[in-house]
């Protein structure tokens, strides 16, 4: 009996020793593999691979789950807001727009870029730099056969935003507008040749406005498509919104109406999907200054209109004008005196209270 017990204990002891040796061998192998991987990760090639993995992780964490985002050396998509300017007035508008973008919370890590035609004087371009805007010179793009004094003669220059400039996702805005809600969430939109708000004011089912555009200019493919289309325009008055719609109206992504509302339609009683007109106004992201109801662009409208308000109009219709003029006075004093019609100075009527 004692001999039998001793044999059992000896067998158990040998089994334990054997298991220990097996576990130890696995540990040694794991340490060797870890050291090998660390050595491999120190090579330039695998450093790049690690950045790509980090980029994919960051993209998924931030909601970029439907596209292949290019990355910078920190493993994050390169984002930017983009504007364009063709003269001193549009430079002023860009400065005001950039101020409002930052005021609504867009971080400094997302640059605001302005494409500036190369004949704008350096002293005027400096105003953009002083405002923290990245100024990039571009060549004019004018529609052939259009008079040089036509209102939209330089609007094709806007289409240069589609040229690849090292950014993975861009939010473009016309600067003759007032941004009222932060748009940073649009950087997380999925793949589409571009995203744009439905042009409710045209009446067509498939038509979008070009005041706000979201796209990924990682190559020049879209720009080259636009260039080919503009080589043989169907008519002289064929501008940026026309060519974009003709090319992409059925392949773009549509944003809801309230992303861009034209100023003269503020007074309309439409609610779209909102419970009330007031909720629709509060939900609007961008109001685009558009001629209507006897009012033109702010710089072509006398400030005295604020003394003769139409009582039936939504107060915001006038408040947006007042805010623009206040910003013009504060940020664009360098414009020549008398560059705008005379009238009420420093007129503000509580636009932010109306929107809060």
Domain CATH for 225: 3.90.550.10
Q: Give backbone dihedrals phi and psi of 161, rounded to 5 degrees, phi first.
A: -60, -25
Structure confidence at residue 49 as a pLDDT band (50, 70, 90): very low
Structure confidence at residue 12 as a pLDDT band (50, 70, 90): low
Does the residue 220 lie in any domain?
yes
Does the residue 68 lie in any domain?
no
Task: Answer yes or no: do 229 and 94 share one domain.
Answer: yes
Q: How many distinct structural domains can be found in the chain?
A: 3
Does the residue 71 lie in any domain?
no
Tens of pLDDT, residue by residue over 316-326, are 999 999 999 99
Task: Answer yes or no: do 103 and 247 share one domain.
Answer: yes
Does the residue 22 lie in any domain?
yes
Task: Answer yes or no: do 228 and 113 share one domain.
Answer: yes
Task: Answer yes or no: do 226 and 275 share one domain.
Answer: no
Task: Answer yes or no: do 288 and 338 share one domain.
Answer: yes
Task: Answer yes or no: do 104 and 245 share one domain.
Answer: yes
Does the residue 70 lie in any domain?
no
Task: Answer yes or no: do 224 and 349 share one domain.
Answer: no
Give residues with Cβ within 8 angstroms of 32, minimum separation 6. none
**Residue at which a domain ends, from 238, 254, 270:** 254
Task: Answer yes or no: do 219 and 297 share one domain.
Answer: no
Give residues with Cβ within 8 angstroms of 257, minimum separation 6. 197, 198, 200, 272
Top-confidence residue, 334 or 73:
334
Domain residues for the domain of 31 are: 2-61
Does the residue 73 lie in any domain?
no
Task: Answer yes or no: do 52 and 182 share one domain.
Answer: no
Does the residue 346 lie in any domain?
yes
Residue 166 to residue 218: CA distance in whole angstroms: 7
Tens of pLDDT, residue by residue over 162-194, are 999 999 999 999 999 999 999 999 999 998 999
Round the average pLDDT of the chain to a whole number and report it. 80
Does the residue 323 lie in any domain?
yes
Task: Answer yes or no: do 138 and 215 share one domain.
Answer: yes
Task: Answer yes or no: do 123 and 151 share one domain.
Answer: yes
**Residue at which a domain ends, from 236, 254, 272:** 254
Please give the share of the chain, as a percent, with pLDDT higher than 70.
Answer: 70
Task: Answer yes or no: do 249 and 109 share one domain.
Answer: yes
**Residue at which a domain ends, from 254, 284, 301:** 254
Structure tokens at 313: 């109009």
Evaluate if residue 152 carries a pLDDT over 80.
no
């Amino acid at each position: 009996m004692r001999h039998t017990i001793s044999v059992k204990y000896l067998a158990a002891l040998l089994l334990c020793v054997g298991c220990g040796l097996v576990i130890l061998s696995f540990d040694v192998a794991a340490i060797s593999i870890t050291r090998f991987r660390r050595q491999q990760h120190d090579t330039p090639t695998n450093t790049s691979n690690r950045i790509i993995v980090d980029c994919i992780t960051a993209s998924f964490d931030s909601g970029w789950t439907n596209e292949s985002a290019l990355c910078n050396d920190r493993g994050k998509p390169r984002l930017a807001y983009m504007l364009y300017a063709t003269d001193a007035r549009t430079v002023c508008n860009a400065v005001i727009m950039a101020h409002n973008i930052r005021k609504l919370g867009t971080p400094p890590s997302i640059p605001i870029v302005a494409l500036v035609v190369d004949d704008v004087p350096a002293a005027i371009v400096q105003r953009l730099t002083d405002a923290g805007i990245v100024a990039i010179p571009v060549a004019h793009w004018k529609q052939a056969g259009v008079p040089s004094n036509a209102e939209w003669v330089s609007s094709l220059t806007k289409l240069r935003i589609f040229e690849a400039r090292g950014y993975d996702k861009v939010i473009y805005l016309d600067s003759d507008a007032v941004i009222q809600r932060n748009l940073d969430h649009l950087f997380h939109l999925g793949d589409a040749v571009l995203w744009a708000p439905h042009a409710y004011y045209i009446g067509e089912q498939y038509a979008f406005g070009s005041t706000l555009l979201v796209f990924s200019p990682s190559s020049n493919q879209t720009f080259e498509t636009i260039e080919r289309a503009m080589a043989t325009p169907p008519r002289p008055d064929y501008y940026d919104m026309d060519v974009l719609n003709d090319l992409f109206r059925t392949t773009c992504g549509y944003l809801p109406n309230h992303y861009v509302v034209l100023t003269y339609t503020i007074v309309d009683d439409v609610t779209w999907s909102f419970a009330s007109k007031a909720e629709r106004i509060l939900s609007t992201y961008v109001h685009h200054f558009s001629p209507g109801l006897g009012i033109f662009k702010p710089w072509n409208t006398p400030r005295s209109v604020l003394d003769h308000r139409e009582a039936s109009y939504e107060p915001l219709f006038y408040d947006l004008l007042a805010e623009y003029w206040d910003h013009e006075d504060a940020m664009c004093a360098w414009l020549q005196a008398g560059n705008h019609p005379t009238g009420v100075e420093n007129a503000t009527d509580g636009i932010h209270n109306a929107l809060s």
